[in-house]
Amino acid sequence: MRTPIIAGNWKMHKNVGEALETARQLEESVQGSPVEVVICAPFTSLSALNALGLSKVRLGAQNMYFADQGAFTGEISAAMLLDVGCEYVILGHSERRAIFKEDDELINKKVIQALKMGLKPILCVGETLEERRAGQTEDVVISQTTKGLAGVGADELPKVVIAYEPVWAIGTGETCDAADANQVIGKIRETIAELYTPELAQKVRIQYGGSVKPSNITEIMEQSEIDGALVGGASLNAEDFVAIVKY
């Protein structure tokens, strides 16, 4: 049985005070939930969030660089994230791929480094609208999953969370049909089974992401292959995020 995991991606939102306020509300309201709850906050709030000593809500970052340390102006290392209490790091988000031109090779280096340092990657994969219309959805997610996991050992694999996020559904209000998402996620699991073993593939948690909100989370979580959600916009509001966690 895989523990469901619901993570909020706050993107470039919230100053420190706002982050603390939302996290406090969340921590109070999701106590006792069987869901693993994660907030991926901007770097600037992580230290203060860590100082809150949250017990139920776990901390994640939205990106990191693959080197241990050095002359990489503007970058953040895995060790720095661990130092401020992070357990998770989102890697390969479609906004990083599209706006910051991150490719599969770079994302894979980050996945390897995160695992080496003891962080759990949330590896994002997903097709654009153009790719979906061209019937390439499965090819895209198979390729991104395979390249993203290259060199990840079988012992490390269960620490990886995959987030299937169709790019056209992110921040658009347009959700992928839950049954469709389930099918694509099933394909991702099949890919992992071929790369490793069917038993190991059953241990990997795969989330759906893309305009998840309180009104559609139940149907998403009812799907057999979907183990949770990566939530952008709706995670900014504590009430909405709590409703999602309590689907």
Q: Does 232 bind ligand PEP (CB under 6 A)?
A: yes
Binding mask 195-214 for ligand PEP (x = CB under 6 A): --------------xxxx--
What is the residue-wise DSSP string for 145-185? HHHHTTT--TTTGGG-EEEE--GGGTTSS-PPPHHHHHHHH
165 is catalytic: yes
With CB under 6 A as the contact rule, the residue among 59, 162, 176, 230 that binds ligand PEP is: 230
Amino acid at 59: L
Residue number with CB closer to ligand PEP (128 or 190) = 128
The beta strand positions in 31-71, using DSSP E, are: 36-40, 57-61
Smallest distance, ligand PEP to C-beta of residue 241, A: 11
> Does 228 help bind ligand PEP (rule: CB under 6 A)?
no
Closest approach of ligand PEP to the CB of residue 68, in Å: 27
* Set 27, 93, 95, 102: catalytic member: 93
Between 147 and 186, how does the x/- string for binding to ligand PEP read (CB under 6 A)?
------------------x----xx---------------
231 binds ligand PEP per the rule CB under 6 A = yes
Neighbours of 153 (CB within 10 A): 9
Distances (CA, A) of 83 to 6, 47, 238: 23, 8, 26
DSSP 8-state assignment for residue 158? G
Structure tokens at 224: 């057999």
> What amino acid occupies position 247?
Y
> What CA–CA distance (Å, rounded) separates 219 from 60?
26
In the complex, which residues of this chain contact ligand PEP (CB under 6 A)? Answer: 9, 165, 170-171, 209-212, 230-234
Catalytic residues: 93, 165
